[in-house]
Amino acid sequence: MSTTCHKHEQRHVIKFNILNNITTFGVLHTPVQACTPYPLVIILHGLASNKIGSKRTHVQLAENLTQCGIAALRVDLPGHGDSEGSLYDFSFSDYINSANEIVSYGYGLNTIDTKNIAIFGSSLGATLALLNMPTLPYVKSLAVWAPTIQGAIWLQEAINIPNTILAHAPASEDILYAGMPINKTFCSQFIQMDVTKEVPKFSDSLSILHMQGEDDTTVSLHHQKIFATAMSQKPNPFEMRTYPNVGHHVPLSCSMLSELVQWLKHQLIP
């Protein structure tokens, strides 16, 4: 099914299976004024979020990309948005695998320029993208917003720095993230996660942009420094940008989105 929403784009509602039998849904935005095959940006959302993004930021990003002649694919991770299952049903490994399958689905679309594919990941989606980079050599560019780089560091900071996003359910032993119970296997796997172990296996040609708000209390800027140190051992094109008076969520009120679109356009359109 496709519906013309703006003069510059068409939206196509898609449905496919991930993790063998979990049905999920997505939206493919394609530019009307450009010719196939299109460059593509695959958008991976955060934990307890969905393909729309906070304050519809992922929709806005997709619309802005199609204005530049770039297609965009937004898909719900399992247990999120319109996908089957609940957050509690899936481990961290499940999310790593599902992100890989979503990217592979985008790569397989017949209207896409497979030599010009990028990923934008936000929060958990950013971490999942980074962890998958060694197995996705066809991804040309990666932009990440506020990824957790080391799970053990995140846990230590979550314990020591007061924040309202992580809690225990009063009537059970469940761990709540943003008020939603998460799988204990997810927690144990997440704590052991270390993106820096994957960095040496990145393709040397992969361009990376790391972006984060300076007032982020969910994922500290310490993670950005850890990642920068790991990337310093690689020849990859790599940029870091921080944004004052911005927290963990992708902002609408500063230059971040427009800068992201321009960076992706520079990467994907010669």
Instruction: Answer whether residue 240 is part of any domain.
Output: yes
* Residue 164 pLDDT: 62
* Proportion of the chain above pLDDT 70, given as a percent: 94
- The tokens describing 262, both together, are 């321009």
Give the burial class of 204: count Cβ atoms within 10 A of its Cβ; 0-12 exposed, 13-18 middle, 19 or more buried.
exposed
126 assigned to some structural domain: yes
In a domain, 184, yes or no: no
Total number of domains in the chain: 1
Q: At what angle do helices 222-231 and 151-160 cross, to 10 degrees?
A: 160
Q: Is residue 163 part of a domain?
A: no
User: What is the reported pTM?
Assistant: 0.94
| CATH code of residue 126 | 3.40.50.1820
| C-alpha dist (Å) from residue 109 to 4, 19, 85, 97, 104 | 19, 19, 25, 19, 9
The residue segments making up the domain with residue 50 are: 2-149+195-268
Evaluate if residue 175 carries a pLDDT over 90.
no
- Assigned domain for 28 exists: yes
Rg (CA), the chain: 18
pLDDT band of residue 3 (cuts 50, 70, 90) is low
Residue 21's pLDDT band (cuts 50, 70, 90): very high
Q: Is residue 177 part of a domain?
A: no
In a domain, 155, yes or no: no
Q: 84-132 pLDDT, tens per residue?
A: 999 999 999 999 999 999 999 999 999 999 999 999 999 999 999 999 9
Per-residue pLDDT tens digits for 210-256: 999 999 999 999 999 999 999 999 999 999 999 999 999 999 888 99
Residue 143 clears pLDDT 90, i.e. is over it: yes
Q: Write down the pLDDT at residue 136.
A: 98
Whether 72 is covered by a domain: the verdict is yes
